């Protein structure tokens, strides 16, 4: 068996080497000429896969080690008889921690307590649902918007326009779709961006074109009150430098880039490809590197301890600083190359469940830490 895979997929050898030969390539460079004798293709979000890419090749299985599938032509692949699998939920925990870090940072910069801000969550699937559960457990009021689920008769969802006017924070977690009544391409267009309430915080860690980036830049030129955190960009890997400068936080599509999320993605695709449980467990494969034990004094205030612990696990300010430095003009490297280099060389990042927080605080402290996802 010959497997062609994105070089950034971790644990390829551990899971797939026993099945045959593996060819690793940069995801954006995978072309039909590389698949002429391949049986399976494993990708991440940067590789567009459609019947044209696979035409006259023996590939009959495509696995994407990501939650999203907008880079796959699902109807076309199905019509061509090609099996497809994704990894729903694999990096949900990492994205939740990204959003929490954005909230902490924007709270610090504005002087507004993030726990008193009403958060509107747009898209309540694997990621949005996990975020809603975490924020609710932390005492944060949330409004949820998910038109497809509401249209199926499920309760508990509000219209997007209601979130725009009633929420202090808007966090986007929708797939990118271009057609149908619930299409998400430019879901936040000029009209909706203008409708954001004064002082609103907008976080997008879903897909760049969910927000009209050109309109957002124009709105930000007039609305200094808005705080914008973008992890995804409309023309990736190209980035609008002017828009980046107007954003409070900018990162190179790494919200879910925890090591644990990547490992889960590889494992899920392995199980999907063979239809059997993986012969290995993530616990046996994941390194100890990055796992930590934090110790706090008995008199540490619960809220301070929670926020300090969250920042020890992930601090978006670090990624923002690296991103802005990399996007500066530099000889011999385009912004697109810098964008991909940041993703390829992304530093080790573990998740809250891999960190133990030791303290002698009261039950309030233990409850907050557990709600945030830390190891008990």
Kindly report whether the peptide bond that precedes residue 79 is cis, defined as omega within 30 degrees of 0. no
Calculate the CA dihedral of residues 144, 148, 152, 153 and round it to 10 degrees: 30
Alpha helices in the chain (DSSP H): 12-16, 51-54, 74-79, 92-110, 126-137, 147-151, 160-166, 190-194, 213-222, 241-246, 259-274, 282-285, 302-313, 316-326, 335-344, 363-372
Estimate to the nearest angstrom the gap between the alpha carbon of 368 and the chain centroid: 23
Q: How far apart, in whole angstroms, are the C-alpha atoms of residue 269 and residue 9?
A: 11
> Which DSSP string corresponds to 13-60?
HHHHGGGSEEEEE-GGG--GGG-TT-SEEEE-TT--B-HHHHTTS---
Cβ neighbors of 325 (< 8 A, separation 6 or more) are none
DSSP string covering 343-363, please?
HHTPPP---GGGEEEE----H
Active site residues: 207, 236, 253
**Cβ neighbours, 10 Å, residue 26:** 13
Neighbour-count burial of 243, counting CB atoms closer than 10 A to its CB (0-12 exposed, 13-18 middle, 19+ buried): buried
CA separation for the pair 208, 255 (Å, rounded): 13
Residues 6+ apart with CB under 8 A from 304: none
The answer to whether 361 and 298 are in contact (CB under 8 A) is yes
Task: Give the CA dihedral 137, 140, 143, 146, nearest 10 degrees.
Answer: -50
Q: Which two tokens stand for residue 269?
A: 């695709």
């Amino acid at each position: 068996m010959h497997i062609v895979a994105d070089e950034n997929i971790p644990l390829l050898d551990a899971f797939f080497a026993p099945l045959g030969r593996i060819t690793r390539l940069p995801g954006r460079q995978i072309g039909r000429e590389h698949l002429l004798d391949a049986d399976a293709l494993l990708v991440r979000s940067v590789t567009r896969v459609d019947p044209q890419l696979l035409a006259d090749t023996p590939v009959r299985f495509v696995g994407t080690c990501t939650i999203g599938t907008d880079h796959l032509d699902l109807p076309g692949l199905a019509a061509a008889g090609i099996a497809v699998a994704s990894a729903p939920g694999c990096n949900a925990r990492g994205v939740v921690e990204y959003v929490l870090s954005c909230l902490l940072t924007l709270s610090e910069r504005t002087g507004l307590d993030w726990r008193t801000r009403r958060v509107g969550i747009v898209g309540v699937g694997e990621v949005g649902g996990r975020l809603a559960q975490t924020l609710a457990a932390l005492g944060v009021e949330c409004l949820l918007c998910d038109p497809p689920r509401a249209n199926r008769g499920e309760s508990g969802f509000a219209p997007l326009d209601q979130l725009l006017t009633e929420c202090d924070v808007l966090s986007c977690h929708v797939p990118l779709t271009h057609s149908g009544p619930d299409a998400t391409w430019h879901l936040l267009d000029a009209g909706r961006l203008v409708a954001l309430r004064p002082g609103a915080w907008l976080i997008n860690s879903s897909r760049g074109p969910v927000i009209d980036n050109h309109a957002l830049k124009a709105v930000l030129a007039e609305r200094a009150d808005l705080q914008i955190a973008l992890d995804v960009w409309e023309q990736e890997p190209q980035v609008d430098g002017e828009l980046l400068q107007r954003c409070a936080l900018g990162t190179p599509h790494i919200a879910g880039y925890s090591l644990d999320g990547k490992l889960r993605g590889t494992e899920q695709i392995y199980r999907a490809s063979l239809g059997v449980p993986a012969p290995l467990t993530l616990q046996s494969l994941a390194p100890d590197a990055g796992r930590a034990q934090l110790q706090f004094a008995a008199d540490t205030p619960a809220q301070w301890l929670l926020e300090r612990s969250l920042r020890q696990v992930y601090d978006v300010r670090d990624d923002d600083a690296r991103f802005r430095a990399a996007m500066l003009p530099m000889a011999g490297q385009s912004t697109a190359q810098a964008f991909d280099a940041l993703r390829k060389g992304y530093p080790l990042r573990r998740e809250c469940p891999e960190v133990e927080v030791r303290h002698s605080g009261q039950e309030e402290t233990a409850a907050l830490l557990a709600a945030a996802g830390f190891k008990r």
